Structure 1
Amino acid sequence: MKKTILIIDDSAPLRLVLNEILQTAGFDTLQAEDATSALGLLDGRKVHLLICDLYMPDLDGLTLLQKVRTIPSYRFTPVIMLSTEKSEEFKDKAYNAGAKAWVTKPFSPQQMLNAVARLISVE
């Protein structure tokens, strides 16, 4: 059974790039353009990993991460935060909120796949 990754980013081009990278590597993907849409997709279906942008229009990624941690089915689902932000303060906040990895934009496909591989396997 393929593992499913939820991509949450308000940039459609970035979602498409991530979708291509992840599907080529053997993952199934879901996409959400904002935190509200992402929460709607977390409806009990099995999601193995979330890749979440830090800055989004409705709720920021840290707030979304805090909300995800209150949903019993997704309490321990690993989350990779994705941002142009390089500040250690933001990284610390993300890790304290439960993020398992931080990937800085721009990133190479290999950087993203390495981060994913540290948290889940393809099969």
Structure 2
Amino acid sequence: MSEPDQRLYFLLQRAAHQLRTAADRRCVTAAGITTVQLGALFAVEDRPGITQQQLARTLGLRESAVTGLVTRLTTAGLLAKGAHPSEHRAVVLELTDAGAVALDAARPEIDRFNTELRELLGDDGFSRTAAALHRIVHGEE
């Protein structure tokens, strides 16, 4: 039997793609939203009144990509835009009731997805992997 592939970056890319595809399928079925849309809704839920620029930083996306994302979410009635209290060109984002319903519909599926990953990696492996990925995402050493 040959050694398992040790090209970690390559494997992470492939795994991320497969996981995103599976999670998207499940979230669309459960709540009618993709994982990127779900991430945006979670970010707005966590920080009501967040600006599009702040949302772009939070999601690690270009502002132009977030503009399209926010347009799709507002058109779907999941987010509402409001005037920024001090910056006349900025808008603030709020979760609508429909956005909260979509989050509530997606949560059980995300919980199941995480449970499956925890079973695959084991409790210790899941926690260690989550901690390592958190450090990578947030630039911590």
Question: Whose radius of gyration is greater, 1 or 2?
Answer: 2
User: Which bracket does the TM-score occupy, shorter chain normalised?
Assistant: under 0.3
Normalized per residue, which structure has more helix? 2
State the TM-score, normalized to the length of structure 1: 0.27
